[in-house]
Structure 1
Amino acid sequence: MFELFGNEIIDRKDLEMKEKILVFIPMYNCEKQIVRVLDQLNGEIKKYISEAIIVNNRSTDNGEQAAIEKIKKMNAGFPIKVLKNRENYGLGGSHKVAFNYAIENNFDYVIVLHGDDQGSISDMIPVLENGAFKKYDCCLGGRFAKGSKLVGYSKFRTFGNLVFNVIFSISVGKRILDLGAGLNLYSTRMLKSKYYEKFPDNLTFNCYMLFALASYKQTYRFVPIVWREEDQVSNVKMTRQAWQTLKMAVSYFFGRKKFMLKDAREKKFKEYKSDVFFSTED
């Protein structure tokens, strides 16, 4: 039996099946924001979450302790763990830690929610509620998708992002509405080959995930989100990032196969390991 939800036709059997969903929160020097991010794991979203992990990438502030103190006061109803990377792996490396964790622990999906509180996990509720996420390999937060809202985001940065969305759309041959927001949902089915292991460990990791969409014929959809810039401190060096992004798009366009086979990491870690620093299961 099928039902229509908005523009999505969903099999009712899919709605009745409980999926095992991991929420992954990468954290680096966001002591002020991490408490607010943990507050997001309340309300309607709770029924979809099987477990949450915070992956601390060797922060130099008090974010780890702030997170632990907040978790102790929560009544989440699902396990929450704080993991600490053994080395500074970068944002991409933290993704690898979390993706590997999801695969090894038999999760069906991973929701990525950045620890700096720019995105809201509640924006994923519509695709979770109607089961539409099961039709895709990934549902990606689209800051520039129809229905999205930008708060405190400059017109200059908005224009720059729109230009690069067009460049990437031409490069990969698919419509790209965001090069990497801090809110995404991935099926572990698409991750099990661990094709991401040789992707850069820096902020361009999400760009490589977009290249993978085209190269491996993954299905996807962009989800409208609210994106805020308030008290966050950006780690993006805009000029350098723009140049790197342009070079990647051009290189992929003129040699997809070679581009995807190369090891794009600056430092080649043998493995990406973290230790459980705190767990509500202890």
Structure 2
Amino acid sequence: MDGRILVFIPAYNCEAQIPRVLRQLEAEDVRTVVEGVLCVDNRSTDGTREAAQAGLKQLDFADTALLHNDGNYGLGGSHKVAINFARDNGYDYLVVLHGDDQGSIADLVPHLKAGRHRDLDFLMGARFMSGSKLEGYSFVRTAANHAFNLIFSAISGQRLYDLGSGLNLFRVSAFEDGFHLKYADDLTFNYYLILGVVRKRARLGFFPLTWREDDQVSNAKLGRMGFQLLRIVGFRLFRPGAFFAADHRKTPRERYPSTRIA
């Protein structure tokens, strides 16, 4: 397969789930496409780091690393840490697989084996496109996501099937211009990212997946996220130039340092 693939697992207080996520990578079809695995812990207060370290030791087929963020960078900040790590270590593609075990990398593997990613810069998992399955997802959350997908599609001029699931693939070189650096470091990072991807006319594709909620504790509260999405939509719609020029981070940073634990 052309291009080195790094699986990036962002983690926060998912001690119970991250061992299951890492066990996904032990499957034979995953071993054939993955060369590295990176866990980035955003200052968890439970046993996430210890669980991740134990799970990584079982992955004898790949180069592995466990990083602990030096500050509270949020989900978006952890993405920036991983993008820098991938670039510095010579990886061509970054697969994002959230540490809370809601998605399965098995949904992406067939697309990798078929080489679909070679013609794309971003290949995004889409919970709400035809062929996807939602398990334990409420009707209200599903309806809200469909509505915002349509709104974001309308303002961006491109059909968007998901604004940011927990299973995606990025071409590392797509970030060379740093277009992502001023996007919010919190849970809204993916919403800014998808709008930026469309604006820079990057090659974007989607794939269906199975998404489940069972023992996970979501940090994305529906009401709060809805207000944040409306604010993003209003800013992007009425002041597009200022939107893409602005720094959307609460705490602007020059760097996102982390400590390597293992």
TM-score range, shorter chain: over 0.9
2:143 equivalent in structure 1: 159
1:259 equivalent in structure 2: 243
**Residues in 2 aligned to 1:255 and 1:46: alpha-carbon distance in whole angstroms:** 46
Q: Which amino acid aligns with 2:52?
A: A
**Following TM superposition, by how much is the alpha carbon of 1:255 offset from its aligned partner in structure 2, in angstroms?**
2.4
Conserved 8 A contact 1:22-1:110: yes
Q: Does residue 206 of structure 2 align to residue 222 of structure 1?
A: yes
Q: Does residue 47 of structure 2 align to residue 62 of structure 1?
A: yes
- With normalisation by structure 2, the TM-score equals 0.97
2:17 equivalent in structure 1: 33
Conserved 8 A contact 1:81-1:276: yes
Q: 1:198 aligns with which of 182, 186, 195?
A: 182
Q: Does residue 109 of structure 2 align to residue 109 of structure 1?
A: no
**Residues in 1 aligned to 2:32 and 2:60: alpha-carbon distance in whole angstroms:** 10
Q: Does residue 162 of structure 2 align to residue 188 of structure 1?
A: no
1:148 equivalent in structure 2: 132
Deviations 1:202-243 (A, max 9, x none): 011000111112210111111100001000001012212101
**Following TM superposition, by how much is the alpha carbon of 1:268 offset from its aligned partner in structure 2, in angstroms?**
1.3
2:72 equivalent in structure 1: 88
**Residues in 2 aligned to 1:21 and 1:120: alpha-carbon distance in whole angstroms:** 16
- With normalisation by structure 1, the TM-score equals 0.90
**Residues in 1 aligned to 2:36 and 2:77: alpha-carbon distance in whole angstroms:** 20
**Following TM superposition, by how much is the alpha carbon of 1:105 offset from its aligned partner in structure 2, in angstroms?**
1.6
1:52 equivalent in structure 2: 37
Aligned length: 261
Give the CA RMSD over aligned residues. 1.0
Q: 1:126 aligns with which of 110, 130, 135?
A: 110
Larger radius of gyration between Structure 1 and Structure 2: 1
User: Is the partner of 1:38 in helix, strand or coil?
Assistant: helix
Deviations 1:34-91 (A, max 9, x none): 000000102201111111100000000001101112223x143111111000011000
User: Is the partner of 1:193 in helix, strand or coil?
Assistant: coil
User: Is the partner of 1:81 in helix, strand or coil?
Assistant: strand
**Residues in 2 aligned to 1:209 and 1:126: alpha-carbon distance in whole angstroms:** 25
**Residues in 2 aligned to 1:273 and 1:75: alpha-carbon distance in whole angstroms:** 25
**Following TM superposition, by how much is the alpha carbon of 1:115 offset from its aligned partner in structure 2, in angstroms?**
0.2
The runs of at least 4 aligned residues of structure 1 exceeding 4 Å deviation read none
1:42 equivalent in structure 2: 26
User: Is the partner of 1:92 in helix, strand or coil?
Assistant: helix
1:268 equivalent in structure 2: 252
